[in-house]
Chain A
Amino acid sequence: MSTEQIRKLAVLAAIWIVLLLAPYWMAPLGGYTDLATRVLVLGLAAMSLNFLLGFTGVLSFGHAAFFGLGAYGTGLMLKYLTHSTPLALIAGMLLGGVCGAILGTLIVRRRGVYFAMVTIAFGQVFYYIAFQWSSLTGGDDGLRGFSRQPVNFGLFKLDILSNSSQFYYFVLLCFALAVGAMGFILRSPFGRTMIAIRENERRSRFLGIPVERHIWISFALSCFFMAFAGALYALVNNFADPRGLHYSQSGDFVMMAVMGGMRNFWGPLLGAAVFVVVQDYLSSVTVNWMSFVGLLFVLVVLFFPRGLLGFLQRSKA
């Protein structure tokens, strides 16, 4: 093995050890396990967005819609149809993913700013549906009246409802599955093609790659992952919020990806961690936290456009 490969493996091992031990080191540092769970879920969402943004080079500014759809799908399933948490998760993922795949066919031919605008506007459609259809979704108050149910694995049972560290490990398992799938896709020939499109769309087209179809598949996959994250988020809160579909939530996700480093697979997770902790802290010390979050956006764009990881790698090189 080359030193580069060893270094990569070591980094990967370190990431997983940190994640696996989170319930143990969060508390002494002044955090709490639920915060770690939230970081994990929002990190997964940011990584799903980055699957499209960082690796296909397509900016969707309406991805929160699919995140929110995943949350509502899971919440409605648990409230009305089933007491099985995994089934509800799958339902949420399918709802958001299928909506994304259908929408994708409408918009794949747009590029750049135009694509961003169209995704924002379509994302708002789902926001208004969640907001207006109050008999089903609870409207402005959000969807309440459901809770995550203990998961039975046959041999043992995870009490994810009342034991927060067992819930953390359940979420970590889901996270690992999704991230593993993402990594697998990115390593496959299809993933390489996505990167080729990002680097030079015209050349890829000349090579005979069906660019539109690839972008559509990448968009749809990213929506499925996003909806899965949203489904988990509904379990975290036992609640689905219409504001989870709003474009300002999409902006937060894009920010997480950019702040961590878009060109790095793990960057968005780091970005999510920083973003969640900073927002948590700011909203506890000042009522004007919105101004400071806004300021953070401005500063990151002006001074750290490559994100934390990009910054570190660059100063090392």
Chain B
Amino acid sequence: MTLLLLFNITNGLIVGAFYVLMALGLSLILNLSNVINFAHGGFLVLGGYIAYAITPYVGFWGALLLAPPLTAVIGLIVERLLIRPLYGRDPLYGLLLTFGLAFMIEDGTRFIWGAQGKPVAIPAFLAQPLSSDLFFITWYRLFMVVVVIVAIALLFLLLRYTRLGIRIRAGTLDLETVAALGINVQKLRSLNFAVGIFLAGLSGVLAAGQLGLDPTMGTNLLMPSFIAIIVGGLGSLPGTLIGGLLIGVAAGLTSVFFPAASEAVMYIMMAVVLLARPRGLFGEEGIMS
């Protein structure tokens, strides 16, 4: 029983780490650009497929390094061409456009790479379990968690100490003043979008190594990321982080006792949070309420 519990908690934490990566990217874009990026799951899938396509040439490590920036470049192009005309308009339009974009990416990847799942080869030593007692923790899983932690730490350092990060945070609070201070808000939003998509691409590569690839995997991760943001509180990145881990673990634990409800428990958590604390665990009152 302890082993089973431990297994599901670890599992939950790992799944939660994915939610967090997804949700942080979504949250960044939402905070600064007021766009709910429905295509975020699509970018995750793109990241995974790019890794799949370049692995034969550059190997797993090369793909891990190259695929996220390549995805971010695609994100930049999309932002420039499609998203930018929508800033300042009703959020409805951003939602609808990215919704259509998600369709196109899902269908496009299916068209190019086929509907069948594709395995992505990971280095042999990573596929080994840590020890025979803890058979379920492979080195790859541990590696994934480390990568996620490093990525999140870098993100928070970026936001805390670099000029770009400080501007992003300032823009989240009051974009008008930031613009009045002579900062190029368009550029800021583009870079911020790219950072968000980079995170999606990274989770795509990592997910590809663990689960294999298929065109719909991004859509399945989208809803939990939404919930993570709502539970954590809109406008708060640490909130998103905690929210993602919480729902990951909760879903993992529920799957021990009542597997059919493992999805539902996330929604119940969201409902409870909205009832008891409408702004979310770490949300600030007034931001986007």
Contact = CB atoms under 8 A, between A and B. Distances in A.
Do the two chains belong together in a single complex?
A: yes
Contacts of A295: 100, 104
B30 A110 contact: no
B107 interface: yes
B7 interface: no
Contacts of A122: 267, 270-271
Contacts of B96: 251, 254-255, 258, 297, 300-301
Q: Please tell me the size bucket of the interface on A.
A: 35 or more
Q: Please tell me the size bucket of the interface on B.
A: 35 or more
Contacts of A302: 82, 85, 97
Contacts of A298: 82, 97, 100-101, 104
A189 interface: no
B36 interface: yes
A112 B104 contact: no
Interface stretch (B49-57, B201-209, B222-230, B248-256): B222-230
A290 B260 contact: no
Contacts of B260: 132
A164 interface: no
Interface stretch (A113-121, A166-174, A206-214): A113-121
B96 to A, nearest CB: 5
A107 interface: yes
A22 interface: no
B107 A301 contact: no
Nearest to A258: B96
A110 B289 contact: yes
B219 to A, nearest CB: 9
A7 B106 CA distance: 46
A291 B289 contact: no
A61 B222 CA distance: 14
B189 to A, nearest CB: 15
Nearest to B85: A302
Most buried by A among B82, B96, B111: B96
Contact of B36 (A53, A113, A128, A129): A113
Contacts of A124: 223, 267
A132 B260 CA distance: 7
A178 B227 CA distance: 34
Contacts of A21: none
B40 to A, nearest CB: 13
Interface in B58-112: 82, 85-86, 89-93, 95-97, 99-104, 106-108, 111
Contacts of A109: 278, 289
A297 B100 contact: yes
10 contacts: A59-B91, A106-B274, A109-B289, A117-B229, A122-B270, A251-B38, A255-B96, A295-B104, A298-B101, A305-B89
Interface of A: 53, 59, 61, 106-107, 109-114, 116-118, 120-122, 124-125, 128-129, 132, 248, 251, 254-255, 258, 288, 290-291, 293-298, 300-302, 305
Q: Which 7 A-B pairs have the closest CB atoms?
A: A297-B100, A294-B103, A294-B104, A290-B107, A294-B100, A291-B107, A301-B97
Interface of B: 30, 34, 36, 38, 82, 85-86, 89-93, 95-97, 99-104, 106-108, 111, 223, 226-227, 229-230, 234, 260, 263-264, 267, 270-271, 274-275, 278, 288-289
